A and B are shown apart, each in its own frame.
Chain A
Amino acid sequence: MSTAGATTPPLLEVRDLKVWFGKKDRHHKPVKAVDGIDLMVAAGETLGLVGESGSGKTTVGRAIVGLQRPTAGEVLVEGHNIHRRRSVSPELRRAVQMIFQDPYSSMDPRQKVGRAVEEVLLIHGLADKRARAERVASLLDQVGLLDEHRTRHPHELSGGQRQRAAIARALAAEPRLIVCDEPVTALDVSIQAQVINLLIALQDELSIGYVLVSHDLSVVRYVAHRVAVMHLGRAVETGSRTALYDDARHPYTIALMSAVPSAEVSASKPPRVVVAGEPPDPANPPPGCSFHPRCWLRSQLQRPPLCEQEEPCLRQPPDAADGHLVSCHFVEQVRAHLPALRANAS
């Protein structure tokens, strides 16, 4: 179809994105919330962005939709830099939408749900007056809301229904990419499953790309095709879902997974890998590898000086799957030390 050499750009490409906050002069060090991250999302694909608080995952999401101006780097949607006004058509701007954690604070409390959805159509000129009502009805139906919800205010809906309304609002713009920032965190388990299933069904049907920002590793595993684990503004491990969850290589990823509280009772339950201490302060990051103060591998390797001297780069371990990148100086030794760790844990 396309001529030789000319490839279509990916739906989303994030290149060396940096977002620093605060003054930059001799007396103040900026807080490097995001400090050089590369991401890629194809149509119909979900990229999961996981990490603890302060890892920069939400800031990345905000920079992707254009709510946060990057300090450096590029956010390209279908090849166009979303932060350069001249390169973004209104059509492209519309193609990127966002769903927030708390729909109660992201919706106008005085606006009825139907009106909130219709407003999007109006702003973007997506349907004429007659078609609008029909479109609103079909959008509400698509997210599993009933016709009676059209005339309700946000406070008259349950948490799950409000999140459905927020999804309908995002869908109204006919997006090709949606950044979902903790979309189910505020919901109860039974309702959470409804919304997760809805997001997956919509993706399969409409081939929308998702960036799923979440602290919940189980939710990300269920939804995402590919995953990036963030720690202090950087991706420390990226790869396919199977690579990440069945063959995690970064000491941080391994520790994070073992800390997930699980209601499963099975022999295959991975033993606990204990991380001492708490996530570091982004305003005052440790030198070298940002995970080194808490790293279990480093202590097993008798604290090699390299960890605190040099920041590791993302690279593919020799025996890892294609596209599985890990930023650890001693990634080759992770597997050899896991059994010892497990023996200690049990």
Chain B
Amino acid sequence: MQELLAGRAVHRDPLLRIEQLHVSFTERQGTVLAVRGVSLEIGVGDSLGVVGESGCGKTVTALAILGLLSLNAKVSGGVWLGELNLATAPEKAMRKVRGHQIGMVFQDPLASLNPVMTVGAQIDEVLAAHLDLTHRERLTRAIELLRMVEIPNPAARLRAYPHELSGGMRQRVMIAMALACRPQLLIADEPTTALDVTVQAQLLDTLARLRLELGMALMLVSHDLGVVARACRRVAVMYGGRIIETGPMQQVLTGPQHPYTAALLAAQPKLSGPTRTGLRSISGMPPRLREDITACSFAPRCPRAAARCSEQDPALESTNPERAVACFFPSPSEPV
């Protein structure tokens, strides 16, 4: 048992604790360092948004938690779910974790669903694999699950094939399947990216409601700060395979400390404010992560970069009990 630190006494033990997670992929052209030392915690019933641009390592982090990385991936570090390290756990143990303790939802439900099986049969399969229920109980449970994710007329929908449902409904089916065993943590990777805005808003509302009702923790991975802002209490911003800023959503959005977070917010067109002028783009491109960089990965694009930034990689350091930033020259933590 881990002893509680004085400062942490108010918090319960986290549900999931990631410590110095490194993931690299060996390819013909060389090695790609996709995740370079990510540490984060998700508490019971907490909601964490993981935000970043393509290639920042957000999806790889999510897949590493679930042990779903491809065979050429090298994983080191700790992904602790209670006493179990998911990074080193055998496949047999992982099969129990996936679906049972951690549910998952991916971006494209059509690719995740079996096109030649009815929705009902697919939910039934999940229930039969994980729970010891009779056929009748499973049917009742499946209807209840579809009702929970707000699918109208659930009993009739069980007989539908995936192609007969709209994109939003398919994603709701995926969520229903992920929740079949009442997981303590739901990992959703870009769950609304392929959907229209009105449908996206409905789905995010459903996720937020389910989280509260089921006391489940949510890790929402997205490229869209707005999406994450709508559904999560805390946010972790990733860049170049690392978390560069983390903290409570409101604080990070109103007073970003890392120049990348600030730049990301300034680069996003908004529904208010100036038009046709003032959109600050970030020059250059994200790092390629072919070899380990000993500098801050954002330094080449950073307006605040100094000599030190290209010599040393800043560590993620706390600026107040809830916030942390990986920058030698962070903005003050109070919103200006």
* Interface residues, chain A, with chain B CB atoms under 8 Å away: 52-53, 158, 160, 188-194, 196-197, 200, 215-219, 221-223, 241, 245, 255-266, 268, 272, 274-276, 278-279, 294
Instruction: Return B36 CB to nearest CB of chain A, in Å.
Output: 19
B282: A residues at CB distance < 8 A: 190, 193-194
A200: B residues at CB distance < 8 A: 276-277
Instruction: Return B139 CB to nearest CB of chain A, in Å.
Output: 26
CA distance A200 to B227 in the complex (A): 27
Question: B275 contacts the other chain (Cβ, under 8 Å)?
Answer: yes
Contact: B224 with A261, CB < 8 Å? yes
Given A190-B53, A218-B269, A261 contacting B223 (CB threshold 8 A): no
A272: B residues at CB distance < 8 A: 201
A257: B residues at CB distance < 8 A: 271
CA distance A222 to B201 in the complex (A): 22
B225: A residues at CB distance < 8 A: 189, 263
B271: A residues at CB distance < 8 A: 217-218, 221, 245, 257, 260, 262, 264
B169: A residues at CB distance < 8 A: 278
The 8 residue pairs across chains A and B that have the minimum distance between CB atoms: A261-B226, A193-B281, A190-B282, A222-B269, A188-B53, A263-B225, A193-B267, A259-B201
Contact: A53 with B196, CB < 8 Å? yes
Most buried by A among B197, B267, B270, B283: B197
B263: A residues at CB distance < 8 A: 190
Interface size on B, residues (CB 8 A): 43
CB-CB nearest in chain A for B55: A188
Given A223-B276, A263-B229, A52 contacting B269 (CB threshold 8 A): no
Given A200-B276, A278-B168, A256 contacting B198 (CB threshold 8 A): yes
Q: A215-B197, A221-B271, A223-B269 are in contact. List 5 more A-B contacts (CB 8 A).
A: A52-B198, A190-B53, A194-B282, A261-B197, A274-B202
Given A222-B269, A222-B279, A263-B226, A275 contacting B53 (CB threshold 8 A): no
Contact of A278 among B54, B199, B275, B280 (CB under 8 A): B199
Contact: A241 with B264, CB < 8 Å? no
Contact: B53 with A194, CB < 8 Å? no
CA distance A30 to B325 in the complex (A): 57
A268: B residues at CB distance < 8 A: 272
B294: A residues at CB distance < 8 A: none
B268: A residues at CB distance < 8 A: 189, 193, 218, 263
CB-CB nearest in chain A for B284: A190
Instruction: Return A233 CB to nearest CB of chain B, in Å.
Output: 16
Contact: B200 with A261, CB < 8 Å? yes
Instruction: Return B163 CB to nearest CB of chain A, in Å.
Output: 13
Contact of B281 among A190, A216, A258, A265 (CB under 8 A): A190
Instruction: Return B241 CB to nearest CB of chain A, in Å.
Output: 15
CA distance A241 to B229 in the complex (A): 26
Most buried by A among B226, B271, B282, B285: B271
B197: A residues at CB distance < 8 A: 52, 215, 217, 256, 259-261
